Each structure stands twice: as C-alpha cells, then as structure tokens.
Copies of this chain bind each other. A is one copy, B any other.
Amino acid sequence: MTPNVSSFSGGSLLLAWQLKDKRVLIVGGGDVASGRIESVLVADALITLVAPSPSLHPVTQKFIQESPRITYHDRLFAGPSDLDGVHMVLTALDDVDKSREICALCRDRRIPVNVADIPPSCDFYFGSQVRSGPLQIMISTNGQSPKLANIIRRKIEATLPEHAGEAVEKVGELRTKLRDRAPGVGGELGKRRMRWMVDVCTAWDMEDLAALDEEMMIRLLDDGWEKNTVLKPDDLAGLKRKHPAAAASSASPLSAAVLPTAVGFALGVAATACLLLAPARR
C-alpha cells in the first residue's frame, strides 16, 4: 500500500493540545469568547479573561460566576505584562488593530495565538466539535465551509454509537487495571497487554463496553487476561446487565440538545417503515 505523496497538501495538522493547569489568556468576552472559554475549560486549563464587563456575553458571565478556573479582569488588554506566564492566547475582539498588536507580542514571545476572524494572525484554527466524556471529535474544513463542517458534525453525532463516550471511559479504566496487574513499559508483556486490549475492543460492542462495571472488569481480568483468553459479554451473563440508560430506554445524548430529537425521529421513521413495508416484502 503505497501512499500518493503528491496528494498530501492543503490541510492542517490536527492536534489534541494539552492544557491541564496551564494558563490561557482570553481577550474579549463576547459570543466567540464564550465558545473559546468552553473549549479551554474542557482541557482543564486555567483561564485569565480580560474584557470590560459591559461587553460580556451572558454565557461568559455564567462561566465567570461558576468556574473557579477563571480569573476575570474587568478591563481592556493592558499590554505586554498581560502575557507573563501565559501558555496560549486567544483573542476575540472587534478591534482589528489591537488584535494584530496582541498577535505580534505573542509571536515575539513564541506564545501560540489565535486571533478570531484574522487567519494570518492564527497559529491554529478551531473546528466543529463533538464531545462525549473522554471522546472528542473535531471536524475541520480548513476554512472552506464552516456550515458544511456543522452539517457533517451533526451527521457524525447522529451516527456515533450511543454510548461511545462511556465505552471509551470504561476501556480506559480496564486498561489502567490491567497495567496495575501487569506493569512495565514495552517488551513482550507490553505487546501482550496491547493485543489483549485490542481483542476486548473487537469482541465487545460499544454498548457492552459502556456497561462494564468494577465486578465485570475484575472477572474479565481474572478469567480472561490471567488465562490468556478474552471473555465475551455472554460469558459474564451472571454479572452482565444492559447499560442502565439503555435499560430505561433513555437515549443519553451526545450533543446536548439535538441528538435525542434526531434519534427519536429516526426511531419513529424506522418503526413506521417496518410496519408499512414488512407485509409487502416477504
């Protein structure tokens, strides 16, 4: 399988930037800034927010009130001293000259910067996002069409397995337990560990993975890993129960608002179609 080198161009390098306990300066407090604050909080950063209070969006105000991770200054950008100890800068201002000035200061100090609406002043862009626990998905059209990015995001949300985020979380827990039981970096054991985790993820579907609890994980390790085999969900029948949310037939939403409606609609369509088409199909 040889890749076609000449087709590699026109894109960005998609990254998952690590911000845990790093300081991010956000200049501006409007609608765009409130979206930035959410993205940065998700990454466990510390935020310094600089914006005059009359310009604050209601969502930004809510963030300031509720998040202990935000230090708020009711003023305009004060100059280079605002950049001390800062790991990343995001500006969302209407003042183009001020935005460019902040960008230049960041570039001098090699601080990664994004200036909303001025692509040449951006070291990186944002994209449309789907988030479900530790699972994050970004859709970028590289500036060609934010609307299509949004449409594609909704399609992905609608087709993503319902409990994908929980499945990822549980597999992460199982992996940690396995590492505690069979520790060490690399080598034969590392390879066996990796193979076993891959086998579990392949043999189990997302819903079953999402339903794993403490007891089931220990059984998987005791009777699976230790005996060099992978138990199937049915092998844990005594312990296994359907995912609580699924049992109560409440679809736990991926996107906060849209998914439940979409899933409901799709189920309605499917049910109706089955009813109407079934007798004719034989």
Give the B-binding residues of A (Cβ under 8 A): 1-19, 38-45, 59, 62-63, 66-67, 109-112, 122-127, 129, 131, 133-145, 147-149, 151-152, 155-156, 159-161, 164, 167-169, 171-172, 175, 197-198, 201-202, 206, 209, 256-257, 259-260, 263
Is the pair B5, A67 in contact by a Cβ cutoff of 8 Å? yes
> Which 10 residue pairs of A and B lie closest in terms of their CB atoms, listed nearest first?
A144-B172, A12-B16, A110-B110, A14-B138, A8-B41, A145-B171, A11-B42, A147-B201, A15-B124, A159-B159
Is the pair A134, B141 in contact by a Cβ cutoff of 8 Å? yes
- Name the one of B18, B45, B175 contacting A145, with C-beta atoms under 8 angstroms: B175
Please report the C-alpha to C-alpha distance between residue A209 and residue B242 in the assembled complex, in whole angstroms: 42
Contact (A138, B197) CB under 8 Å given A3-B38, A8-B41, A148-B167: no
Is the pair B201, A8 in contact by a Cβ cutoff of 8 Å? no
Number of identical monomers bound together in the oligomeric complex: 2
A65 nearest CB neighbor, chain B only: B5
- Name the one of B9, B133, B140, B143 contacting A10, with C-beta atoms under 8 angstroms: B133
Q: Is the interface of A mostly helix, strand, loop or mixed?
A: mixed
A36 nearest CB neighbor, chain B only: B13
Is the pair B11, A136 in contact by a Cβ cutoff of 8 Å? yes
Is the pair B110, A172 in contact by a Cβ cutoff of 8 Å? no
Contacts of A5 in B (CB 8 A): 41, 62-63, 66-67
Q: List 29 A-B contacts (CB under 8 A).
A: A2-B59, A3-B256, A3-B257, A7-B260, A10-B42, A11-B43, A11-B136, A12-B43, A13-B39, A14-B14, A14-B127, A16-B125, A16-B126, A16-B142, A18-B123, A110-B111, A112-B112, A135-B141, A137-B138, A141-B172, A144-B171, A144-B172, A145-B168, A145-B197, A145-B201, A147-B171, A147-B198, A148-B209, A155-B159
Contacts of A159 in B (CB 8 A): 155-156, 159
Contacts of A19 in B (CB 8 A): 12-13
Contact (A160, B155) CB under 8 Å given A11-B131, A13-B43, A42-B11: yes
